[in-house]
Amino acid sequence: MSVYQKIKQEAYVCNMQLPKLGLVLFTFGNVSVVDRERSVFAIKPSGVPYEDLSPEKMVIVDFDGNVIEGELRPSSDTLTHAVLYKNWVEIGGIVHTHSTYGTAWAQAQRDIPIFGTTHADHLTTDIPCAPPMADDMIEGDYEYQTGFQIMNHFTDNGLDYKEVEMVLVGNHAPFTWGKDGHKAVYNSAVLETVAQMALLTEQVNPNAPRLKDSLIKKHFERKHGPDSYYGQS
Amino acid sequence: MSVYQKIKQEAYVCNMQLPKLGLVLFTFGNVSVVDRERSVFAIKPSGVPYEDLSPEKMVIVDFDGNVIEGELRPSSDTLTHAVLYKNWVEIGGIVHTHSTYGTAWAQAQRDIPIFGTTHADHLTTDIPCAPPMADDMIEGDYEYQTGFQIMNHFTDNGLDYKEVEMVLVGNHAPFTWGKDGHKAVYNSAVLETVAQMALLTEQVNPNAPRLKDSLIKKHFERKHGPDSYYGQS
Amino acid sequence: MSVYQKIKQEAYVCNMQLPKLGLVLFTFGNVSVVDRERSVFAIKPSGVPYEDLSPEKMVIVDFDGNVIEGELRPSSDTLTHAVLYKNWVEIGGIVHTHSTYGTAWAQAQRDIPIFGTTHADHLTTDIPCAPPMADDMIEGDYEYQTGFQIMNHFTDNGLDYKEVEMVLVGNHAPFTWGKDGHKAVYNSAVLETVAQMALLTEQVNPNAPRLKDSLIKKHFERKHGPDSYYGQS
Amino acid sequence: MSVYQKIKQEAYVCNMQLPKLGLVLFTFGNVSVVDRERSVFAIKPSGVPYEDLSPEKMVIVDFDGNVIEGELRPSSDTLTHAVLYKNWVEIGGIVHTHSTYGTAWAQAQRDIPIFGTTHADHLTTDIPCAPPMADDMIEGDYEYQTGFQIMNHFTDNGLDYKEVEMVLVGNHAPFTWGKDGHKAVYNSAVLETVAQMALLTEQVNPNAPRLKDSLIKKHFERKHGPDSYYGQS
């Protein structure tokens, strides 16, 4: 049995969650799960329908994008995952989808405003939208540069990837991450529902105000931090 | 067998209705059912996925929020339920969700206008939206104060909780209630569909008029009151 | 076996189509099927959940609204069905729903414009929206008067119920009919999808023009009339 | 066994994908698959519900619209398929649906703007919307002329059917094609999701810019052309 069996299995299970949660059409998405000890991650093979996946088909890749194990070509977005794992050292899983509402906000090139507690339960800021990449980044090593575009946007805006586990890439679509693959998938579903609610909120009231700071703080701390009291700890 | 078996069973069945009716993503919702004789209620444990629930996992809590029976931590919204049960003495069940359209109206901080008979079949007023809470209420005992925010809004606006069995909490999401858990769940689904219809109505016609009084009266009385003739009585 | 077994069976099967087609929440809809020889129709009992229905539970009613057979109370909308059967003598089945998009247009009090061939495949005019009823009609025999409101709107606007098999009742919701129960249910689903497409069309282009006459004529005649060539004749 | 068994089987499987992908209501769509050696195609019979289809019921038609094999009448859109197969000699399959969002853009008579990479993964231009047909074309051989309307629009706008595998027919609905039936169905689903995302994008930001050329080029070449690296080649 492969020494990577554990992450292959988790990557498989997490990839299979995407169609169940309505986050992908055909093969428009991928999940990876990292093994920090071995500095590799397991990722979906490129263009393979979800119904044909199995744990064995997951591809093992190192943080420079080299295939370490597996007979299939890894996701075309592999280098973006690699860059993020290499630089954001506490990430355990990454998800990329073209989910409908998240992608609409990315195409609109707008941050998703924090309008309510559903959003504040998960992060205390707007969901950031990184600008479309410069032409030289696109024409160079595109997927590799996409990782840097995300990281640079976080740095430029003082965002911490451990607190804000999701981003829109302008004109493209969402990326999310988390301590493991399951949390990253969870965050993709949260992003999609928050994106839908935010659009509907603006349709109900074009002047809807952002959530006030006291509520942001309260709801985030209910679920996160030393005094959290949500869940079974 | 627990003396609370009956409400645990009903709370379990009602909680399981929420995902079936499309009213929750993950664990974003909870149902409680009261035992008026014993002055306790059964409520969903916090953060436990619906597929892992069982009647035995429901938590029994008194009207001050003390856990009376159960090994799991109750829903983080438990104190809101407790306050409402303590003060609104004819309520038998309470539901809280972050259903998509209801939450959008809550985030937009608008009452849902009564536009048609689907709405009037269930209540004769707009669906009220309580304003976001004051900072001192948020920073204090937040969930406890949420219950008072709801009750105060009803008092200030001359609303009767026995006639209007639903509310939006501004920036947050809907709460509904009823004579038992099933009716409270029913009301959550009604609120969600009425919320969607109201948004679509304004999109079809930004000047759509509210329903006139004669139709409000007629439809409500078809289903409610001494001369009702809907259902099998 | 009841002499009304045939229409009870068809009414049952047709009623069960409503939740399958996503046209009803809970019990917000009903189908009836007529027996022209006996001048009665079978209709859903009031307020009974679809999952509890059976052919035996359908209620047999005459054209004045008297229950002829059955132990349950018939739909609260029964008199509307009765009036339409009595006066529109070629109708074989009637459906009433509160389907989401159809109801939104009814609440907005607008005819649904004929924007494309999906619409023209089924009727050559806008889908008419009858105005909300006058107060004296509402306060009188409401459901009975609803039937007249529909018929009067057709008369006043030169519409033929054999060509236009659907209507919105202002502030209320859709009614559809057809040569039998199946066609009436089919028309309810067509109305809902055309209602959604029309709203989306206006959102894509607020100045979208109505379909031109030559296309209306062509598409309607493909499916209807002596030279139709759609289906297996 | 019919010499056309292979295309009948593929046409059957592809037609059955339409309801599974949510692209059709009732019988509002059809797929055909061509046999280039024999210059015939297999197409859905007209008006037959998907649940009643079988490979044997597919109708074999030549490029002038003559039925070669089969007892049922072919789809009323058959001549449009025939014209496209006859003139666009590298097409292997064609799909026509009235999918909700695609039809809304067709009714709105607008090209679908290329707003993001989901779109650019599949084509490098806006999704073209052919204008509604002239009255003499409609009153003549309508379905035959629909094929010419599509082809003329491509010629007039310098579009290549091998690169742009989809079109909206103004006031009507989408047509898509591809190297085989499966690719044509895939394109119908892509068109529908891109149509939905484009509408939502404009709702989030009415001034959303079109995707810039460098990103269009990059994403299209990831999936297509000599240096593509998407999928398992």
Q: What is the tens place of the pLDDT at every residue in D148-177?
A: 999 999 999 999 999 999 999 999 999 999
Contact (CB, 8 A) for B95 and B34: no
Q: In what order do the strands lie in the sheet with A29-35?
A: A67-69, A59-62, A40-43, A29-35, A93-97, A174-178, A166-169, A129-130
Residues pairing with D167 in the sheet: D175
| Residue D31: inside a domain | yes
What is the predicted pLDDT for the residue at C121? 95
D160: tokens are 């290549």
> CA–CA separation, A94 vs A85, rounded Å?
9
Task: State how many domains chain D has.
Answer: 1
3-state secondary structure of B207: coil
> CA–CA separation, A18 vs A189, rounded Å?
9
Which H or E run contains D204? helix D181-204
Cβ neighbours of residue C104 closer than 8 Å, sequence gap 6 or more: B197, B200, B201, B203, B204, C195, C199
Q: Is D156 a catalytic residue?
A: no
| Residue B230: inside a domain | no
Nearest Cα neighbor of D116 from D199, D48, D187, D41 is D199
Cβ neighbours of residue B156 closer than 8 Å, sequence gap 6 or more: none
Question: D-chain residues within 8 Å CB-CB of A98?
Answer: 117-118
Question: B-chain residues within 8 Å CB-CB of C46?
Answer: 229-232
DSSP designation for A127: B
Question: B-chain residues within 8 Å CB-CB of C172?
Answer: 116-117, 215
- Pick the catalytic residue from A121, A126, A141, A180: A121
Question: C-chain residues within 8 Å CB-CB of D28?
Answer: 118
C159: tokens are 């519409």
Contact (CB, 8 A) for D57 and D4: no
| Residue D33: inside a domain | yes
| Residue C231: inside a domain | no
Cβ neighbours of residue A72 closer than 8 Å, sequence gap 6 or more: A45, A46, A48, A57, A59, D232
Q: Is D12 a catalytic residue?
A: no
Q: What's the domain range around D149? A: 5-223
What is the predicted pLDDT for the residue at C233? 65
Query: Which one-letter amino acid corresponds to residue A42?
Result: A
Range in A125-129, B213-217, C27-31, D41-45 with the lowest mean pLDDT = B213-217
What is the predicted pLDDT for the residue at C9? 98
How many CB atoms are closer than 10 A to CB C210? 14
**In chain D, what percentage of residues exceed pLDDT 90?**
91
| CB within 8 Å: B214 and C45 | no
| Residue D145: inside a domain | yes
Backbone angles phi, psi at B156, to 5 degrees: -60, -30
| Residue B154: inside a domain | yes
Indicate if the pLDDT at residue A157 is higher than 70: yes
Per-residue pLDDT band at B231 (split at 50, 70, 90): confident
Say which of D117, D204, D231 has its CB closest to residue A104. D204
Low-confidence ranges of chain D (pLDDT < 50): none
D146: tokens are 């629909």
Q: Between D222 and A23, whose confidence is greater?
A: A23
**In chain A, what percentage of residues exceed pLDDT 90?**
91
- Angle at the Cα of C63 from the Cα atoms of C57 and C67, rounded to 5 degrees: 35
Contact (CB, 8 A) for C11 and C48: no
Say which of A45, A108, A171 has its CB closest to residue D204. A108
> CA–CA separation, B83 vs C218, rounded Å?
64
Which H or E run contains B169? strand B166-169
Indicate if the pLDDT at residue B147 is higher than 80: yes
Residues pairing with B42 in the sheet: B33, B60
| Residue C230: inside a domain | no
Q: Between D219 and A213, whose confidence is greater?
A: A213
Q: Which residue has the tokens 């907005």?
A: C108
Q: Between D231 and A209, whose confidence is greater?
A: A209
Residues pairing with A50 in the sheet: none
A144-152: average pLDDT: 97
Which H or E run contains D59? strand D59-62
Please, what is the average pLDDT of chain A?
A: 96
Indicate if the pLDDT at residue B135 is higher than 90: yes
Query: Which one-letter amino acid corresponds to residue B222?
Result: R
Per-residue pLDDT band at A233 (split at 50, 70, 90): low
Alpha-carbon torsion angle D98, D102, D104, D110, nearest 10: -130
What is the predicted pLDDT for the residue at B36? 98
* The pairing of beta strand C29-35 with beta strand C93-97: antiparallel
Backbone angles phi, psi at D98, to 5 degrees: -115, 45
Q: Which residue has the tokens 């679908």?
A: D112
| Cα separation values, B196 from A203, B192, B215, D189, Å | 11, 6, 21, 26
Backbone angles phi, psi at D167, to 5 degrees: -155, 150
- Pick the catalytic residue from D62, D121, D126, D141: D121
What is the predicted pLDDT for the residue at D231? 87
How many CB atoms are closer than 10 A to CB B162? 12
Residues pairing with A178 in the sheet: A93
| CB within 8 Å: D47 and C229 | no
Indicate if the pLDDT at residue C220 is higher than 70: yes
- Quick one: how far is CA B152 from the chain centroid? 16
D211: tokens are 């995707």
What is the predicted pLDDT for the residue at B233? 65
Nearest Cα neighbor of A121 from B175, B142, B140 is B142
Indicate if the pLDDT at residue C54 is higher than 90: yes
Binding-site residues on chain A for chain B (CB distance < 8 A): 115-118, 186, 189-190, 193, 196-198, 200-205, 208-209, 211-212, 214-215, 218, 222, 229-233
pLDDT one-digit tens code per residue, A116-126: 999 999 999 99
Nearest Cα neighbor of A142 from D20, C108, D121, B194 is D121
Contact (CB, 8 A) for D69 and D4: yes
DSSP designation for B28: -
Task: Tell me the CATH number at D14.
Answer: 3.40.225.10
Dihedral sign for Cα atoms in the order B142, B143, B148, B154: positive
| Residue B198: inside a domain | yes
